[in-house]
Amino acid sequence: MTSPSAILLLPDAGPLITLAYADALDLLLKPGWAVHIVDMVLHEVTRNATPTSQAIAAWIHKNEVQVVHTKVYERYRQAMESGDHMPRKANLGELGIQEAMTGFAFNNPAPAGVFLFEDHKIARARFILPDQCRKVSTRAFLTFLEQKGWLESAADVERKAIINGRNFSQLRFPPS
């Protein structure tokens, strides 16, 4: 069994945005896992002024969330600075998370990684992740917290995000 301190939670942009809309970012800390954010995901959620960008940035700063540096973001940043061409933006956060988790294989002992995602396209995607890493949807994470007794109602968090303006995915992953 893996100790909670040996588990790293790497949220994608979608879960951060949903939890910010629900004013529930602190739920990421409930399991006692280390929360890290990939630099490309951080850029995605803070590059534009949105209803959640400042709340997410403030939460990351307040909780001293470690930023994981990736080649994906470095190459994106270089392409933006050079102005030679506009780099694609789609799926770069997910590629950064995949890069970070692949890097776990070089740690001894290798930490367990939890890739927290929301986009229905990711649920169906075939990411190559080390054996100790898992993909978990926002909804499944909230249900896990509820089952552990760390959250009164996963449905209430979803409802609050939706009421506050989040278009929350209706996909169930894993399927019910």
pLDDT tens figures, 15-49: 999 999 999 999 999 999 999 999 999 999 999 99
Q: Average pLDDT in the 72-96 region?
A: 83
- The better pLDDT of the pair 111, 3 is held by 111
Does an H or E element contain 116, and which? strand 112-117
Two structure tokens written together for 92? 């770069």
Q: Please report the DSSP string for 11-44 in residue order.
A: E-HHHHHHHHHTT-GGGGGTT--EEEEEHHHHHH
Quick one: pLDDT band at residue 132, thresholds 50, 70, 90? confident
User: Where exactly are the structural domains of the chain?
Assistant: 4-163
pLDDT for 122 equals: 58
Q: Average pLDDT in the 68-86 region?
A: 87
Check whether domain 4-163 has CATH 3.90.79, yes or no: no
pLDDT for 91 equals: 81
Phi, psi values for residue 85, rounded to 5°:
-155, 155
Identity at 52, one-letter amino acid code: T
Q: What is the pTM of this model?
A: 0.87
Quick one: pLDDT band at residue 143, thresholds 50, 70, 90? very high
Omega into 130 within 30° of 0, i.e. cis?
Answer: no
pLDDT surpasses 80 at 56: yes
**On the CB side of 131, how many CA atoms lie within 13 Å of its CA?**
2
Separation CA 7–CA 170 (nearest Å)? 27
